[in-house]
Chains A and B, each alone.
Chain A
């Protein structure tokens, strides 16, 4: 009674429920009342959780918390928490069924490639040729070197029972993360390759070569025998959402980013005598992955004022008319950044924009999705891209600190 009186002092008898109960019984009206407070009350328009519409929740990131993994990350987005661990395992090329076939068919290309990589070193800033891009894609995608899996059955939210088979949302998120890892080409295939340089066995082998080749024997040892790939690192990326309060994708993807930035692969080499791959124990010899860019996601939900009012089918205005009405302010909608669980239940239309920034500060959109409604169009999306770009700066700082 007391709290109701503070919310609406003008009409205390009409609202005789405490706010939490009102929120449960009439969620739509509750959020609407927060977003469009009566003019007389002089309150600013804010969401039920106190945030401004384009405000994200407090985000924190931590890396390297799991000691048994090659890299790990924990990202907290308000009450949504995702933990990600990356475990690397070796895939021997002799275990890949079609490896020798595909290897011999483009051995020459591969050899040139190996040389060019050696020349350019680890900088990775050189312009990639189309063949390199294709090779990179073929290795990572066709050999499935990245295996992300997301788990929601951790007791993170009442809707997901622990121990139950993966829900549709879980599977959709796993797929989205994998497809984003592929389309952004985040991980370089070169980082995952274990090379072996066969030694030059001296003159008896050179006898088979032509005379011209004899000329440049001492020129370059690498020229005589191409380096070969003996194994690949496969990255198993496991994500656990340990607490879910809306927006699982942003938290999951950012935990993947943090974990991959933290991942160290041990130095591995082909041991000829044992005919196997050996790894070094020393941390000093291990190396980090060099990722391509830093794609940061921002998810949005659209809350419409009249969604509950139309019990029967509403007449939907034309696209042009809708725009005109929006200008007049008769159609009311709010685009809520980083929706929490309560808001997600009230918004059907979703947008997710993933942006990256180049060295010169230019914003590049890596992925832009919106579905589930018809109110968001060009102008709104332009604003959302700007918001996402600002979010990128913010997240870059947070990630660099951890």
Chain B
């Protein structure tokens, strides 16, 4: 299985940006982050001690509709908790995250948005890292489906997701907290527990940092180490940005 591909700081004008492509679902998302910026008319925000997090999702072929409002709400609540909005310079200001769905199937009216949610979460995380917005933790998300026979399927494609009996999106923080769970379909709690275990092992960083600071690569290089993937992407970018220093 081919892992996801991503690159950081692809846009010049934004404070931070990232593009992310998920091979299983085929979604290609471009994200930009601006922050901290002065938001107009937010002086008397409800929470003056915290930063306002705004998320905008733009679908590939139409203008944003009700479905996008819904997914924006979910993203805002997840990211608002992860972003340290009380750091110096952030209170009363805004962090604006814009996510454009560049490639992949169009999400139709009334679709649940579960298939694209991991891609949106990963893109926004990478873009936030690229913009150097202070975060309390990183996270990783995955989409799992349960078939009629009770088998848990990772790497769901959009077509698989339609036939699955239940679909689950879970996001775990780098400290193994369950940050987000969105499940739909018909299932019982025991199934969900198995799904959670499986999702945790996918999301967990399988690449454990060695004692000398190197990354010890295990045999499990099957592209399922999502958290390790976030780290690698950032490391790659840093290595490229600091070539002048490393080479000298």
Contact = CB atoms under 8 A, between A and B. Distances in A.
A246 to B, nearest CB: 16
A348 B80 contact: yes
Interface in A15-40: none
Interface stretch (B95-103, B151-159, B171-179): B171-179
B40 to A, nearest CB: 17
A172 B181 contact: no
A369 B178 contact: no
Interface in B81-138: 81, 84, 86-87, 108-113, 134, 136-137
A175 B69 CA distance: 8
A172 B81 contact: no
B1 interface: no
A280 interface: no
A366 B81 contact: no
B188 interface: yes
Given A372-B81, A373-B81, A378-B196, A172 B185 contact: no
A169 to B, nearest CB: 8
Contact of B110 (A141, A312, A318): A141
B77 A168 contact: no
B39 to A, nearest CB: 15
Given A365-B188, A366-B186, A371-B181, A319 B176 contact: yes
Nearest to B183: A368
Interface residues of B, number: 44
A372 B70 contact: no
Interface in A171-230: 171-172, 174-176, 178-183
A369 B185 contact: no
A182 B109 CA distance: 10
Contacts of B182: 368-369, 371
Given A172-B69, A378-B196, A367 B184 contact: yes
Interface in B186-242: 186-189, 192-193, 196
B189 A382 contact: yes
Interface in A339-386: 348-350, 356, 362-378, 381-382, 385
Contacts of A310: 86
A320 to B, nearest CB: 7
A313 interface: yes
Contacts of B181: 368-371, 381
B69 A364 contact: no
Interface residues of A, number: 50
Contact of B74 (A181, A365, A371, A373): A371
A172 to B, nearest CB: 4
B73 interface: yes
A292 B25 CA distance: 30
Contacts of A367: 183-184
Contacts of B136: 313, 316
A326 B78 CA distance: 22
Given A175-B67, A320-B176, A312 B86 contact: yes
A320 B172 CA distance: 13
Contacts of A168: 69, 72-73
A362 B42 CA distance: 49
B80 A372 contact: yes
B176 A318 contact: yes
A43 to B, nearest CB: 30
A313 to B, nearest CB: 5
B67 A370 contact: no
6 contacts: A144-B110, A178-B110, A313-B134, A365-B187, A366-B186, A368-B181
What 5 A-B pairs are tightest by C-beta distance, nearest first?
A: A319-B176, A374-B177, A171-B69, A372-B77, A175-B70
